[in-house]
Amino acid sequence: MKAMVLAQPGTRLQERELPLPPPGPSEILVRVQACAICRTDLHIVDGELREPKLPLVLGHEVVGVIEDFGREVHARRIGERVGIPWLAWTCQRCPQCASGRENLCKKAEFTGYTRDGGFAEYMIADSSYTFPIPESYEDVTAAPLLCAGLIGYRAYRHAGPARRLGLYGFGAAAHLLAQIAVYQGREVYAFTKPGDTQGQALASSLGATWAGTSEDRPPELLDAAIIFAPVGALVPVALRAVVPGGTVVCAGIHMSQIPAFSYETLWGERVLRSVANLTREDGELFLRVAPEVPIQPLTETLPLDRANEALAKLRTGQVEGALVLIP
């Protein structure tokens, strides 16, 4: 099979021919139909997430068709379409797993990081950590739902019942979550990097009440804010933008250093929290909500062998919505 392989962080992906991987007892062999690109992929390539499996096939927003499965797989069938997310496996025995927090399992494995992912024609996944894809979604539009959607939705749930919701960094995740918020009757306040009039226009077209830059003060204080941009300096900015008792959720897996800020910025029972990974429950809930809205991902496609170009476009902010690779 063809795959785009990361040999070492800081280098370009290399196109290689790899042997077709056989599925283990609880695993499925999936023919990849589409794989969206996430900012986490950039963090891995740039060496900001340490200790990846090397060499590594990136990609954890995968839609594909089952070609084969192991002897312990009973809930899947050949030809079934499935989605493969970031969370690839957990121990199911530790206190975190036993308490419904498998996203915090210390032994957890992750697609496209500690296991090979979907920047390839085929991949292996543990059957129990995959999701059926709603029939209303085509492969390309379903792919961004598997991380930008799933982990974004976890952040959205942790933001609580905010009537005024701020979204800092209006990209792949925010443009999906904005659609849910508007559908549920909330006010969305979208914050982009300075000069990103295209992102602001997208937010407005999706029903945002207000769109501006991260340097702007919103016209109203927010009940909650979610930070999708990996910029630590946005933490005190968002805290100052929420009401007393408001919540700021950091939704990324990596963020630049958070600058010092006065206790007054946090005071007033404001809450600052992070979101780590996802649970399978998050996936099940989100993939029920998505078709109801219905969420309509904005996508741009490139062939698999142009993965380096796709990563470069994401790094320089030349993407509106989500980039999806097609084998």
What SS3 string covers 245-269? EEEEEECCCCCCCCCCCCHHHHCCC
* CB neighbour list of residue 286: distance below 8 Å, 6 or more residues apart: 145, 149, 150, 153
Confidence bin at 65 (pLDDT 50/70/90): very high
Phi, psi of 265 (to 5 degrees): -65, -35
What is the homologous superfamily of the domain 2-146+278-326 according to CATH?
Medium-chain alcohol dehydrogenases, catalytic domain (3.90.180.10)
What residue type is 284 in one-letter code? E
Q: In what helix (H) or strand (E) does residue 123 lie, and over which residues does it extend?
A: strand 122-126
Q: What is the mean pLDDT of residues 11-18?
A: 98
For residue 128, which of 253, 277, 25 has the smallest C-alpha distance?
Answer: 25
Find out whether 294 and 307 touch, Cβ atoms under 8 Å.
no
Contact 166, 213 (CB under 8 A): no
Domain ranges of the chain: 2-146+278-326, 150-274
pLDDT at 317: 85
Distance between CA atoms of residues 201 and 212, nearest Å: 10
Rounded Cα distance between 313 and 307, Å, is 10
Here the tokens at position 175 are 């443009």
Buried b (16+ CB within 10 A) or exposed e, 242-274: bbeebbbbbbbbebeeeeeeeeeebeeebbbee
The pLDDT score that the predictor gives to residue 134 is 96
Q: What's the rounded Cα separation, in Å, for the pair 105 and 40? A: 19
pLDDT confidence of residue 82 = 98
Tokens, residue 31 = 């023919």
Reported as a single tens digit per residue, the pLDDT across 32-62 is 999 999 999 999 999 999 899 999 999 999 9
- Residue for token pair 């009401």: 243
- Global confidence as pTM: 0.94
Which pLDDT tens digit goes with each residue over 95-137? 999 999 999 999 999 999 999 999 999 999 999 999 999 999 9
- Adjacent-strand bridge partners of 17: 2
* 204 token code pair: 């407005």
Helical ranges in the chain per DSSP H: 39-45, 95-98, 139-142, 150-158, 172-183, 197-205, 234-241, 263-266, 280-292, 307-315
How far separated are the first and last CA of the chain, in Å rounded?
10
- With bands split at pLDDT 50, 70 and 90, how would you rate the model's confidence at 320? confident
CATH homologous superfamily, domain 150-274: NAD(P)-binding Rossmann-like Domain (3.40.50.720)
* For residues 252-259, average pLDDT: 95
Q: What is the mean pLDDT of the chain?
A: 97
- Percent over 70 (pLDDT), the chain: 100
Nearest to 205 by CA among 137, 322, 296: 296
Which amino acid makes up residue 17?
E
Count of positions (residues) in the chain? 327
Residue 209: count other Cβ atoms within 10 Å of its Cβ: 18
**Which residues, 6+ apart, have CB-to-CB distance to 317 below 8 Å?**
193, 196
Cα 69 to chain centroid distance, Å, stands at 26
165-216: pLDDT as tens digits: 999 999 999 999 999 999 999 999 999 999 999 999 999 999 999 999 999 9
| pLDDT of 318 strictly over 90 | no
CA–CA gap between residue 205 and residue 208 (Å, rounded) = 7
